Structure 1
């Protein structure tokens, strides 16, 4: 899947230039832009881009503060690329300490932008693979054994998620593990016939992760939320290309509210600034219903 990118710079010409470089070189999809730090933080917190290209000096909230807030509060492993003409070693060091991983200097050089973004994409892809491997295994601390989680329902779940284009997302295995938990519990003792998502996240954390903290559970929630957002976006794109596509017909109204699919389609077309909303419980129960078919 194409990397989802967000650009933050108070200079419109810089944003346009970077957008054109990304699109001309087929490096990814621009899912948002901002010229103000506070606006950028709010949007980044809701749409979870893979890569953020961000200026150091911004109105209302500077680039370093945005990165710190995202890394500490959202706890999401998105990649930040700093764009700046700042030459101060201390400020650049502070930016790296805050969480940037790559740096593009102003004035903008096309070759540098392309090279840096390609390196960031490679880093993001590697991170997704590692997260997928990590989440595929259950750690049994009492036996100190790593055991794979496999059965027919999981294979079918992953087949569905492959068609949705989200198997490379870090929250995909969390979703598959949740499906596994709910399906098995309902078979054995009717547990989780009714539940709220907090209960599910706590159960997932207890079974598959060694850390029992609010931060860990928040990270799980954010990974899953971002993955479902990507699924919504992918299905909306399929609907735009071909309304009669079997994937669109099969998944659009089962995993999402169809009005939100339409909103997302309008957002992609540039007809609306409002995106479609997701409901993670609806997505999970929809997946379970698809497994019964």
Structure 2
């Protein structure tokens, strides 16, 4: 895959390049420290994936992506950012980015996100090839649209839970999409094989995800205290956390319990996919 990196901090592209090019099949074909150069380069160059800094002088990362998508709709984008503002992140996803990579740069996160985007590209290429073989009687577009709708549904749930500003939200999105596409439950995923990581890296990945899920639990418990009759809150409390854990978190927030609710990665992810499938 051919990559292009845009970041006004000169150290970031160097770090990303080292990580990306550890895979001999990947090649960073260009680097820019400001959006205007990137716009000029990418209009002419053959590139698969662009990594773009969110906040840059003159032209923001979001505006750069909007302009590039008009010129080259097939480009895939990963956003780099140290900003945790949920509204900005939501706007970036709506613009068409695949995932976020958070600063400071985490090697495991970069590897995981890039691998997922490459898988998405390869899936689209396979569908296009199948379409060509059958003479156009099978179209790739409905499958691609379905995947996009699932992604938007997952993001809407994470936004409701106030989790999109958490570092682990990109991991949650990537894992949920993989489960949907490969028809897997959480327990069936071989993370070491799927993300090319060892047990230590897997532990770090799970820790980052647990922190994000715990934030969602706390936010959901707060919502539940404010509006006990909200059907959506109660549904997510049951499907994503089990209501007893939300209740324990509520008691902890009120100061009537010494420990909060527990979280289960398996229950959260399987529940998240159930919510997405029910909405289809």
Normalising by structure 1, report the TM-score.
0.46
